[in-house]
Structure 1
Amino acid sequence: MTSPTTPLAPDVQPADGYAGDISPEQAWAWVQSGEAVLVDVRTDAERAWVGFVPGAHALAWKQWPGMAMNPGFDVGIQALGAGGKKLVLLCRSGVRSIAAAQRATELGLLAYNILEGFEGDPNEQAHRGLKGGWRYRGLPWQQN
């Protein structure tokens, strides 16, 4: 979590309750450099049907069906952040990953939200993947 006296890196947007918001490109750069661990907080169904980032750690914030809280989230995120690396959290559109980043921060971890998420915001026809997001930005992903 940042405070008024803690300067943010130039590519980090300030946020309440977690380390900050970063672009998909910044998150990927941190992951490639070994500075951060990429955590996909989407459901197993989303990753299977829509696609996933190779090498990302799958740890659902909420579980399908019903979108109930994942009772294993706290233990899982603590294990992923145990080495002290930054955690960069990815969901569909950058909303659930905010809640997950806030919780990770409450647990004493350094967590960032990836803006736009995996699919980005819906366009005028309510289609995702055409207006921002990990896939739209051309970052690595696969589909089953």
Structure 2
Amino acid sequence: MSGVPDVTATETWAALESDPDAALVDVRTDAEWNFVGLPELSSLGKQPVLIPWQVYPSMQVNGAFAEHLRKAGLTPLSKIYFLCRSGARSLAAGQAAQAAGFPHAFNVAGGFEGPVDAEGHRGAVSGWKAEGLPWRQR
């Protein structure tokens, strides 16, 4: 057990809407942000915090991840919802955040696109897009 609770994208949206101090941290790579899209939070008066867990193209873990969380204004009191493509990197990022003193870390289990469907495509099974939440191309 990781200690980082899994939540759905819809639960994440509700938390971001109801808690002014809740933040969505998108831990995908800049290539994913640019070519796949981003959660659109402007109707909530927020923006996703973009901090890669792994740095493209080497895919090495971002050694300054916790420092970037702090620089983004997040504190140990912040409720932080971590999002990646499918929920794996975001879980690792949430665990690292907890280890760095951010106890209120949550994993958006379906991620932005979710797992592949029967045809091998992402975005239809679960996750931010599949749950019909706002998103945009960069």
Instruction: Give the equivalent residue in structure 2 for 1:24.
Output: 9
- CA deviation profile, 1:53-103 (whole Å, cap 9, x unmatched): 131000000011021111221101234431612000000000000000000
Instruction: Give the equivalent residue in structure 2 for 1:68.
Output: 60
- CA deviation profile, 1:2-24 (whole Å, cap 9, x unmatched): xxxxxxxxxxxxxx333311110
- Range with greater deviation from structure 2 (37-46 or 24-33): 24-33
Change beyond 3 A, Cα 1:25–1:35: farther
* TM-score, normalization by structure 1: 0.84
SS class of match (2:66): helix
Instruction: Give the equivalent residue in structure 1 for 2:43.
Output: none
Higher relative contact order (CA 8 A, sep 6+): 2
* Alignment size in residue pairs: 129
Unaligned 5+ segments in structure 1 are 1-15
- CA deviation profile, 1:19-41 (whole Å, cap 9, x unmatched): 31111011111111224110000
Is 1:88–1:112's contact at 8 Å kept on the other side of the alignment? yes
Moved over 6 A (4+): none
Taking the aligned partners of 2:2 and 2:115, their CA distance within structure 1 comes to: 23
